[in-house]
Amino acid sequence: MEIFFTKRASKNYKSIKEYISGNFGILVADVFENKLIDFLELLKVLS
């Protein structure tokens, strides 16, 4: 299964990552991104 982001989802993702980075730091934003990637990979495998 292929997973893709709509334009709205991409915009929301960028907004969330910028918020996390600005309020909690780049390291926390990177952890958020890695967890999202791991989740999406798991979703691919289970589909």
pLDDT given for residue 19 in this prediction: 98
Express each pLDDT in 4-14 by its tens digit. 899 999 999 99
Both tokens assigned to 8: 């709205």
11 CA to centre of own chain = 11
Q: Which residues of 3-32 are buried (b: 16+ CB within 10 A; e: fewer)?
A: eeeeeeeeeeeeeebeebbeeeeeeebeeb
- How is 18-45 classified by DSSP, letter by letter? HHHHHHH-HHHHHHHHHHHHHHHHHHHH
pLDDT given for residue 47 in this prediction: 80
